Structure 1
Amino acid sequence: MLSFKRYPTTVAVALTLAAPLMTALPARAAELEEVIVTAQKREQSLQDVSVAVTAVSADDLLRSNIKSIEDLQTRVPGVTFGNDFSFAKLFIRGVGLNSSFAGIDPSVALHVDGAVVAQASAQFASLFDLERVEALRGPQGTLYGRNATGGSINLITAKPTQHFSGYTNLSIGGSDLSYGLDSALSGPLTDAMLGRVAVHYQHHDGYGIHTGSGKDIDDLNVIATRAHLQFKFSDNVDLLLSGEYAKEDDHSKSVHFIAPMFPVPPQPSLRALGLPNVLANSRNVGGDFRPSFESETWSTTATLTWQLSDAVALKSLTNYREFDDQLVQDFDVSDTVNGGFPPAPTSTMQLQAIGDEQFSEELQFIYEGDKLRGIAAAYYLQESIDSLVLLGRDPVRFPERSRVVVPATLDVDAWAVFANFTYAINDLFSVKAGARYSAEERTVENRFGVASPVDPAAVFDPVRRASRDYSDFSPEVGVELRPSSDMMLYATYSEGFKSGTANLGERVPNLVNPETIENFEAGIKSRWLRDTLLLNVAAFKYKVEDAQYDRTYAITAPPFYAARLENAATTDGRGVELESSWLATDRFRLSLSGTYYHIRFDRFLSQNPINPALFGPAGSSLPPEDLAGNSPRNTPDWTAELSATYKWPLTSGASLALTAAAAARDKQYYTEFNDDITGQDDYTLYDANLLYTTPGGKLTLNLWGKNLTDEMIVSGIYVTSTARTITGTYLPPRTYGATVGYKF
């Protein structure tokens, strides 16, 4: 648990920041603003939603310079984010993606205006021109079209406005030479048509270098745009057409050298490639080639809303999205300090390319009566995933000569019907019930090609195909109790389902069973001190069955390892989450949130690939390790976030606002084996910003800094058996800069 004795620096800094501000507080306080969300598919006050949900407003995103999903983990309780091999690793309450191959659904869904972004590799969303971000914790099967066992992150974009308006924000940063542009125009085009267009550009130089070429890595170069056209056919019929495009072309998302798999290799062939000329814990990488990453995505969405009466509405949500990316890296990621460049291409070069096409349709019936309110919906998703993995030699210039070639496809046809309704028996007591029926068909096809060192090209296995149908029924029941207008207590039981699937990196396709969750949750949402103090608490207990994990097995012949997707684990989780905000005066606001989790494996047997005994004389007869009692990946036992904002009104009519924030995390692990070398020790990140607003509020200047103490934090770990190395990715170093904004 969070201990003041154990973490004196964090507490001391927070109190130091808050103390001088609190001494200057006037006695009179304003009221907290009401936050409206659509977490349950209808507009509600955040305090009336019987779900653990956090909302981050557009103003908060701008002031804190939050530009990506990764940045949200310091603002949203229970959320952690990592990445490896260009897969976003979103976790909520210890439930997330446990594989680094295409074809496995994320456990945490990402939606843009209600339309799902199906693949984890496409979840590196840039947060631009948003109204807010909503993060829902726990299974969300009876409210959203796509299954989500861990939770859902919903991006609510800014919509066209009745009056002409717009803004432009220009940013420039410090040592990493960052700069960016966000701009939008919105307003009426005709009496019955509104429009909005937004553009986003973000760039920063590299946080490290490729030691062979001396050029940047972990840089960023992203451009994106979004447009809305809204047709007001009548007072009751509305059509919103949305289009989005984004492209990234840089040298990010490659893994870094952490340590050799075996400090003392049990045999010479298991020595980490690149040794001994390596430097661990470095933002630099070595390898034969400079790593590179490219991605491109576009989508169109049509949202038709027909208000049949004051109580009844029909909505159609139609979405089409295409996504492609390519990552090139060298698993020999040692930070080489001497030697020629480039050496002869080795067997550790990797090219990974993913293409995804998805189409979805969701038809919603929304009812908002005096006592009964809720949603019933039908959903359909069709998805086609293409994956290509090339390993060895020079897969960029001579792909046909790669040592290992794995082309694979996965086709998904899924449909579901679901409903969620709440009935108010009286002003004090309401009951909630929901259910979801899901059905999916998945078909996988792959070839596997391998070449010996002397073969001119890979020799392919026969084409292998496999298909399987899945179905599931997931109920939800709950109660809401409102003893006063300022307090709601709730309790729910819900189930969730993540479809079975196949790992597109395996030699023989293996369609595994679905992953399921049973979740109990109780909470309180309340306002105190004449609406100046918000206090929300949620407690949960869940069990995940048949959790999908990549398991690595030791084999006797090179490359000495084989991976297989399996229903490997059962997980028991329980925890408590706190969110609070105190508006002490018109000038001073203090926010505190945190989580305490006890999430452990109840059943998990697996071999640890970094156990050298597996390659000893008795290695083949060693039983798997019992991992019961270990923590899942990306799941610290506790987290805490504290922020304080103080505003100074100036005599000119302008204002200054200073915000200081601290986000602390307990130790977490990035593999299920909980080895120290594959984890990250507890840490605290400090951010701050100073916002100047001119009279009238049209012009702003924001000075911001993030990770002010320049902590080097591992955000993901991957054991790379090909190069016999332990590799990882890092959170950004200290960044700082200024943003000038103008709005009208």
Structure 2
Amino acid sequence: MHKLNVSKALLPTLIAAAASSVSYGAPALEEVMVTATKRSASIQDIPLSISAVSGESLAAAGIQDFDDLIGSVPSLSMKSSGPGRTKLNIRGISAATGFAPTVSYYIDEMPISSISSGSSTSFAQTVISPKLFDLDRVEVLRGPQGTLFGSSSMGGTVRLITGQPNLAENEGKIAGEVSSTKDGGLNQTLNGMYNHVFTDKLALRVVGSITDNSGYIDRVYDDGAGNSGKVDDVNTEETESLRASLRYQLTDDTYIQPAYFNQTMEMDGKPNYDGPGSDDSQIRPFNAAEPFEDEFTMTSLTINSDFDGVNLLINLSKMDREFINSEDMTDAVEALSGGFSYSSPTAAAFVDETVSLKDETFEVRLSSNGDSNFQWVAGIYNKDAEVNSDYVMQRGFEYVTNNGLANTNDRSTYDESAIFGEINYTFAEQFTLTLGLRSLDYDFAQHKEDWGLVYGDTTLSEANLLDVNNSDEETNYRVTLAWDFSDAGQVFVTSSDATRPGGGNRSIPRSTDSADVLAFACNNDLNDLGISGNPTSYAGDKVENLELGLKLDPSDRLRVNASVYHLKWTDIQQRVNTSGACGFNFTANVGEAVSQGIEAEVNFAVLDNLTINAGISYTDAEFTEDTPAAGIMDGDQLADVPEITANLSIDWSMPLEQGEMFVLAGVSYVDDSLEIAGDKNTDVTAFTIESGNVKPSYTIVDLRVGYNSGKNWEAAFFVDNLTDEEAIFTYNDAIVFNLPNYDRTVRNRPRTMGVSASYNF
């Protein structure tokens, strides 16, 4: 806990500064409106555990990416290999494998499918990383959300609500910042928004962003043949995004809104360093680029109409995403081979991964829009998704075999249909009963072609073929009883569940011929696990939730929300590892786990010009039965789940003769977590991880000081990661597996100082 001392020393100084220029107005907190229940309502009236951050708060704090929010939302954690490669966890429901995530992710009305790839490490289940300029708000719903938001909402749901076209007036904003990162270079960001009113019934809103972030990790190379050197700051990031939405108000009660969102991100190198012993640099035999590109395009059409007592919403959304990822695996192959060396080639050996996603969703829902004691929502939903993943170890292997080492073409389709509904009935004036139900069915199909040296030195035309079909039907429910014990408070109890769909595995080579070393070893390993044939598929898993919550507004200036919960996770999709001689792993439904904890948020308007926000969560997530096949014992902890997270922010302003000066300070603490499920002493050398199994706790301090003109412009000086704290996100940023003697370690951005300015017109 020593790392909290810096923040403890900083906060009293800021509070003292605030007290020296007190403004004794009538402080009050703003009402927060959300659409978490498919209708607009105050966050304090909804019997759900929700955190909401307004677009104004995001802009004031200079938050550009969703990852920057994670430390400030209770019970929300992540595993990340950089932008576009982040897996989200809520309330300890963290998935190490499976093609579907445990947290659903929405942009406006569209659920975003995660990427599923041939990788067995940190690239599966990752979501897009959209830039957050001109967002209306971010909503984080904690706990299973299976009834309204469907499959893959076992831990919760994240919703990004974009700024909407304004029919009332033309408006615009330009914002930019320039900064410098320790051990890196210059960073530049330019954002712009313009809302144009064509008529009183037609308006267009366009948002654009350009980001150029320097790298802060160096590549050190030495091929042993006299070619050595260093390349500075290889993990640069360039991102361009364009978002547009057009609203046509057909009648006073009906509008039609098409929307478009495109974002392209390019990184010249991996955002990782090799440790321990690498001096925070990438150690490579060759100076070989490892680029990563991620592009997505979203289009949608929304029709919204209000009738007498009923609202109709129709949404059709489509998303195309493609990423290209290359990794130098020279050292890894040399360690695996045993029979050949990479001391003679003049170029690196690569694994190249290309993944494309096509995702179409359609939803129609009706909901009540009156103020009676009986409220309801009902709808139908359909999703069609296709993921094509090419996972090729070809470049650099020509001198060993023309067929590459181990290659996979993976073609997967996922279709889901659902009907859902929820009713809310208020009785005896103070009690509200919520009943929700969702019935869904899905079909998953997968076709894989595996070829190369490890598959008998086969060509693509001779590939080992694997076809998997997996389908199921699920029913999710929610029952909530809320008691408004006064005008200022509510308690609620909830029982609910959520599910995640099953999927397919890669084929594993098997042979009884000892001369076929790898296939023979795999055959023995699968026999030892009691598996005949190939473990080609796995089923869905499920979470059941029991929760008690409190929402309290004892005054206009104080708000306290808290929940205590107990989650039971069954038929968990877990990775089963074979021996090092085989080297393959697969996913199976084994074991159970329990995650229980408490979370709380407090908002306090101390003075008219001073607001304090705080949050804390405690999560105890562990397995409750032995599963030797997955290397799990009863009592082992889940990976990537910090036991404690805490955050504190202060927003203070001082009125001047013209405009005002402001100070924003934030401190977030994230407890240590495990890289691999188990405990702190788990031997992770089988995963080629040298740093041990613990990702240390960290405390991040951010500071922003600026001036607001009170009219149309603002300027600020900021320091992100003031104390230059290192936060480890993973030790295992590898498509294949870690290199011998080094961990491919991903960390946060070092201390970054800069200036920002914005102009409204």
CA offsets per residue over residues 638-695 of structure 1, 9 Å max, x none?
A: 11101112111011x2111101111111111121133461321121111110131113
Match of 2:290 in 1: 291
Contact 1:600 1:632 in 2 (8 A): yes
Q: Note the C-alpha offset of 1:468.
A: 1.8
Give the Cα–Cα distance (whole angstroms) in 2 for the partners of residues 347 and 148 of structure 1: 41
Which of 146, 150, 156 pairs up with 1:151?
156
Counterpart of 2:241, as a letter, is A
Q: Note the C-alpha offset of 1:332.
A: 5.5
What's the secondary structure of 1:142's corresponding residue? helix
Give the Cα–Cα distance (whole angstroms) in 2 for the partners of residues 577 and 66 of structure 1: 23
Match of 1:78 in 2: 75
Which of 581, 591, 604 pairs up with 2:613?
591
Deviates more, 1:125-134 or 1:295-304: 125-134
Which of 206, 211, 215 pairs up with 1:206?
215
What's the secondary structure of 1:463's corresponding residue? strand
Match of 1:730 in 2: 747
Give the Cα–Cα distance (whole angstroms) in 2 for the partners of residues 348 and 555 of structure 1: 21
Matches within 5 A, 1:306-705: 306-309=305-308, 311-331=309-329, 344=345, 349-369=350-370, 370-391=372-393, 393-394=395-396, 401-451=403-453, 460-503=462-505, 510-528=536-554, 530-556=555-581, 560-606=582-628, 625-651=631-657, 653-675=658-680, 677-696=692-711, 698-705=712-719
What's the secondary structure of 2:503's corresponding residue? coil
Counterpart of 2:31, as a letter, is E
CA offsets per residue over residues 44-71 of structure 1, 9 Å max, x none?
A: 1111111111111112211222111211
Q: Note the C-alpha offset of 1:410.
A: 0.7
What's the secondary structure of 1:71's corresponding residue? helix
CA offsets per residue over residues 518-562 of structure 1, 9 Å max, x none?
A: 00111111112x310111111111101112122221153xxx411
Contact 2:195 2:204 in 1 (8 A): yes
Q: Note the C-alpha offset of 1:297.
A: 1.0
Counterpart of 2:726, as a letter, is M
Contact 2:404 2:453 in 1 (8 A): yes
Counterpart of 1:201, as a letter, is I
Contact 1:543 1:573 in 2 (8 A): yes
What is the TM-score normalised by the length of structure 1? Answer: 0.88
Q: Note the C-alpha offset of 1:488.
A: 1.4
Contact 1:450 1:459 in 2 (8 A): no
Contact 2:216 2:232 in 1 (8 A): no
Q: Note the C-alpha offset of 1:127.
A: 1.7
Match of 2:299 in 1: 300
Matches within 5 A, 1:26-425: 26=23, 28-84=25-81, 87-99=85-97, 104-119=99-114, 120-162=125-167, 163-175=169-181, 176-212=185-221, 214-259=231-276, 279-280=277-278, 282-288=280-286, 289-309=288-308, 311-331=309-329, 344=345, 349-369=350-370, 370-391=372-393, 393-394=395-396, 401-425=403-427
Q: Note the C-alpha offset of 1:215.
A: 4.6
Contact 1:393 1:403 in 2 (8 A): no
**For the structure 1 residues 54 and 65, does the alpha-carbon distance in structure 2 shift closer, same or farther, using more than 3 Å as the test?**
same
Match of 1:610 in 2: none
What's the secondary structure of 1:222's corresponding residue? strand
CA offsets per residue over residues 454-505 of structure 1, 9 Å max, x none?
A: 9696784332211121111111101111122221111111000101112458
Q: Note the C-alpha offset of 1:190.
A: 2.4
**For the structure 1 residues 122 and 574, does the alpha-carbon distance in structure 2 shift closer, same or farther, using more than 3 Å as the test?**
closer
**For the structure 1 residues 670 and 345, does the alpha-carbon distance in structure 2 shift closer, same or farther, using more than 3 Å as the test?**
farther
Contact 2:217 2:272 in 1 (8 A): no
What's the secondary structure of 1:216's corresponding residue? coil
Give the Cα–Cα distance (whole angstroms) in 2 for the partners of residues 155 and 164 of structure 1: 24
Counterpart of 1:87, as a letter, is R
What's the secondary structure of 1:561's corresponding residue? coil
**For the structure 1 residues 392 and 14, does the alpha-carbon distance in structure 2 shift closer, same or farther, using more than 3 Å as the test?**
farther
Contact 1:52 1:136 in 2 (8 A): yes
Give the Cα–Cα distance (whole angstroms) in 1 for the partners of residues 13 and 552 of structure 2: 28
Give the Cα–Cα distance (whole angstroms) in 1 for the partners of residues 400 and 171 of structure 2: 52
Q: Note the C-alpha offset of 1:333.
A: 7.6
Give the Cα–Cα distance (whole angstroms) in 2 for the partners of residues 220 and 343 of structure 1: 33
Match of 2:687 in 1: none
Deviates more, 1:598-607 or 1:240-249: 598-607
CA offsets per residue over residues 395-429 of structure 1, 9 Å max, x none?
A: 89999642111111111111111112211113311
What's the secondary structure of 1:442's corresponding residue? strand
1:18 is the counterpart of 2:24? no
Contact 1:551 1:566 in 2 (8 A): yes
RMSD over aligned Cα atoms: 2.7
Give the Cα–Cα distance (whole angstroms) in 2 for the partners of residues 396 and 359 of structure 1: 40
5+ residue gaps in structure 2?
115-124, 222-229, 333-341, 510-533, 682-691
Counterpart of 2:722, as a letter, is L
What's the secondary structure of 2:57's corresponding residue? helix
CA offsets per residue over residues 323-382 of structure 1, 9 Å max, x none?
A: 100111124689xxxxxx997278862211111101110011111331112311110000
CA offsets per residue over residues 215-259 of structure 1, 9 Å max, x none?
A: 532211000001101111101211111011111112355543235
Q: Note the C-alpha offset of 1:509.
A: 6.6
Contact 1:660 1:688 in 2 (8 A): yes
Match of 2:337 in 1: none
Match of 2:516 in 1: none
Give the Cα–Cα distance (whole angstroms) in 1 for the partners of residues 240 and 349 of structure 2: 31
Contact 2:637 2:679 in 1 (8 A): yes
Give the Cα–Cα distance (whole angstroms) in 2 for the partners of residues 91 and 505 of structure 1: 28
Contact 2:698 2:726 in 1 (8 A): no
Give the Cα–Cα distance (whole angstroms) in 1 for the partners of residues 503 and 456 of structure 2: 36
**For the structure 1 residues 566 and 73, does the alpha-carbon distance in structure 2 shift closer, same or farther, using more than 3 Å as the test?**
same
Give the Cα–Cα distance (whole angstroms) in 1 for the partners of residues 753 and 64 of structure 2: 13
**For the structure 1 residues 490 and 446, does the alpha-carbon distance in structure 2 shift closer, same or farther, using more than 3 Å as the test?**
same
What is the TM-score normalised by the length of structure 2? Answer: 0.86
What's the secondary structure of 1:569's corresponding residue? coil
Contact 2:285 2:348 in 1 (8 A): no
CA offsets per residue over residues 382-404 of structure 1, 9 Å max, x none?
A: 01110111126438999964211
Q: Note the C-alpha offset of 1:282.
A: 1.0
Identity of matched residues, %: 21
Give the Cα–Cα distance (whole angstroms) in 2 for the partners of residues 228 and 727 of structure 1: 41
Counterpart of 2:653, as a letter, is K
Contact 1:331 1:722 in 2 (8 A): no
Give the Cα–Cα distance (whole angstroms) in 2 for the partners of residues 468 and 694 of structure 1: 60
CA offsets per residue over residues 26-82 of structure 1, 9 Å max, x none?
A: 555411111111111111111111111111111221122211121111221111122
Give the Cα–Cα distance (whole angstroms) in 1 for the partners of residues 26 and 177 of structure 2: 34
Give the Cα–Cα distance (whole angstroms) in 2 for the partners of residues 397 and 60 of structure 1: 56
Q: Note the C-alpha offset of 1:721.
A: 4.2
Q: Note the C-alpha offset of 1:21.
A: 2.6
Give the Cα–Cα distance (whole angstroms) in 2 for the partners of residues 604 and 728 of structure 1: 30
